[in-house]
């Protein structure tokens, strides 16, 4: 389960960076929102998966509230 969490976290980070530094500039500089739509859905799904997995793994790692908020 930890490996799935790591992979999800990595993919979530990559999707966020692509959305922020590729899709959004294209949207505002070229007026083409297609890339935001294309990358937005996978980013949203990965974010939800990340949150669900973090909640699921919280008891296993015995994260405090502070640690959980940071995760």
Name the band, by pLDDT with cuts 50, 70 and 90, for residue 23. Answer: very high
Q: Average of pLDDT values for 39-64? A: 94
Q: What is the pLDDT of residues 61-70, one digit of tens each?
A: 999 999 999 9
Total-model pTM: 0.85
Residue 2 has pLDDT above 90, yes or no: no
Contact predicate 68/23, CB 8 Å: no
| Angstrom distances, CA of residue 53 to CA of 29, 35, 41, 61, 66 | 36, 27, 18, 12, 17
Domain extent listing, the chain: 2-70
């Amino acid at each position: 389960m930890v490996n799935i969490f790591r992979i999800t976290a990595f993919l979530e980070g990559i999707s966020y960076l692509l959305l922020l530094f590729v899709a959004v500039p294209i949207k505002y500089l070229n007026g083409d929102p297609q890339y935001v739509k294309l990358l937005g859905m996978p980013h949203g799904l990965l974010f939800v998966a990340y949150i669900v997995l973090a909640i699921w793994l919280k008891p296993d790692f015995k994260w405090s509230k502070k640690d959980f908020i940071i995760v």
